[in-house]
Structure 1
């Protein structure tokens, strides 16, 4: 099957129907090529694309280990080393991600299925908890069953519902390794007391991480990846193919946000995509990727995260204009653009705006090296942000 890298091109023999179907996905761009072929150009999306009998594998240009680091930043590198190796050999991301998800859920549930107290209201033949007086009065004198209200210590919580939904979806993927399929089936058995409901990827974002459910965080993060990016194609009632496409722009932004939040905990609060206004009277709404605030205090810094660096390694003009608008609206002396570093790029530069005095800093992170190097660069970036000035000189 054809394999290409993000932002690269390949010429393929396609029918017009196939070309139109692939173009409609929005994941790649197509244009006519010599010899009645079609030129397929990848964008920021990577993974497995299956459309109308055509299967494309699109690889990121970063270290395979670091792709899994971006997928779930809450685990040590040893957790995904096998899957990263398998992906490097086969170029097919989907089986590796399903295997990574299955092993992560197994480790999570091995520590015990999460349970919490859930408020219930049921009609029972014997009293449980307390009598629901209002509900009982509606029964017009009928003594049984009784309307009861009680708290049930149950595993039927939103965290487990998310995992169950993602496991069900993963089991529908064809060509999953039999061992991983059995692993997923065992997990369904472990969650048999959990209600099976449709779950959207955004549901995971609304789950607060606490001391009680913190060990679920890596599995929930991967469940979100599966729910958000896996598309199944059914043919006559049976699953025939699956597409799994990940936007590296979104993945890189989520990774940087989460890692900076972790590094700056106790020093600065990291708020992702708040709404700010450029004009007076709340005119011209904008959403910077990152805003850094002193704990319970004033805004200290602002930043934007961009996956693709400009060819001159100094950022793109439009990104500078955008960051200048953020710093101006928030009256900050400095802001930062955080890029993914490409080969031969510099790691840091800065522009001081004429007649404004504001400093626009560019920092890049190298995702071609080992995960330990990425962690070191994130820590250095967090320290630099924490030491920035707080007012216009």
Structure 2
């Protein structure tokens, strides 16, 4: 099975149809090479890709442990060590992610299945809750069943529906360890009181987390990952292949946003992708990745996250232009570009814009070290952002 690294290339013997199928996925670029072969170049997507009989494994350049750290930043540092070791040994990301998800679900549901009050409308033989007058009138004098509207304390809630849907999908993945498959089955049985209604990854984004359901957040983050990125191909009624591709750009942005939000909680409010107007007439809108606000809701700092740094390790000009537009539109003296650092990249760089005085800070995070080192870097990054936000107060 061909293995290549993120943004790496490999020459493969493919048919013209296979090359076209790979190219059509958008995950890799396929161009003709010498000797009748095809040059396949990976992008920011990593994982396992199965198309038209061709299977590729694409590995990220970061530490395997830190890949799982990015997959779900809400878990303790040692939660993914077993799966990270397995992935490092086999290069196949999907079975490791499924095993990671199975153990997370088992731990989460072991604390008790979440229940909540949900409003329901059902025809019943006896009145329960409130009479649904409009529905009852439609029955033209028929007294039973009675149209009722009531609050039901149930486990059939969106959090459990998403989890059940992800469990059912994960059970169809091939090459999963039998022990992990049994673990998935046990958790599916535990949620037998939950309906199999249609769900999608966007439903996770709509969930508001409180102290009552906060322990579900890591599990639902992984469920979202599976529902968003797992594609199964069926043949003859049985699963024949599965693709699981994760965009490192999206993963890095989600990870940093969540970690900074937790680290800065109570000090600075972190708002992701707010709408910002560039012009006075509010005709041109922009969405910076991060906006940092004080307790009164005023923007004090702005940041943009870029997973891949330019080849010269200085940042792309377009990224600086974009950040300059954000700082100008919001009225801030300073903003930050946050990159994933590679070997040879500078840790920090500051550009002062001519005739504007804006300070554009380039800051990078190293994901090649241990999870503990990554945590230290994020803490230092959060401190720098908070200091920048405090400096901005002088301009108001």
Given the superposition, is the C-alpha separation of residues 135 and 16 from structure 1 closer, same or farther in structure 2, using an over 3 Å criterion? closer
More moved, 124-133 vs 16-25: 124-133
Please report the TM-score for the alignment, with normalisation by the length of structure 2.
0.97
1:103 aligns to what?
103
Q: Is the 8 A contact 1:334 1:359 kept in 2?
A: yes
- Counterpart of 2:337? 337
Question: Corresponding residue for 1:299?
Answer: 299
Residues 290-324 of structure 1: CA deviation (Å, up to 9, x unaligned): 11111232100011000011222221111111101
Aligned to 2:32: 32
- 1:137 is displaced (CA, Å) by 4.0
Larger mean Cα displacement after TM superposition, 382-391 or 87-96? 382-391
The number of aligned residues is 393
Is it true that 1:81 corresponds to 2:110 in the alignment?
Answer: no
- Alignment partners' CA distance in 1, 2:164 and 2:197: 9
Instruction: Identify unmatched segments of 5+ residues in structure 1.
Output: none
Q: Does 1:122 align with 2:122?
A: yes
Q: Distance in 1 between matches of 2:135 and 2:6?
A: 60
Could you tell me how far apart the structure 2 residues matched to 1:177 and 1:334 are? 50
Deviations 1:100-146 (A, max 9, x none): 00110111111111100111222222232343344444434333322
1:6 aligns with 2:6: yes
Match of 1:268 in 2: 268
Q: Relative to structure 1, is the Cα distance of residues 132 and 31 closer, same or farther in structure 2, using a 3 angstrom cutoff?
A: closer
1:385 and 2:393 aligned = no
Q: Which moved more, 1:7-16 or 1:142-151?
A: 142-151
Distance apart, 1:175 and its partner CA: 1.6
Tell which deviates more after alignment, 244-253 or 175-184: 175-184
Alpha-carbon separation, structure 2, partners of 1:149 and 1:17: 56
Deviations, residues 268-288 of structure 1 (Å, cap 9, x unaligned): 111111111212201221111
> Aligned-residue CA RMSD in angstroms?
1.3
Distance 1:294 1:277 in 2: 20
Q: CA deviation at 1:30?
A: 1.0
TM-score by length of 1: 0.97
CA distance in 1, matches of 2:327, 2:294: 16
**Matching residue of 1:68:** 68
Residue 365 in structure 1 maps to residue 365 in structure 2: yes
Decide which moves more: 79-88 or 266-275: 266-275
**8 Å CA contact 1:334, 1:361 repeated in 2:** yes
SS at match of 2:216: helix
Consecutive unaligned residues in structure 2, runs of 5 or more: none
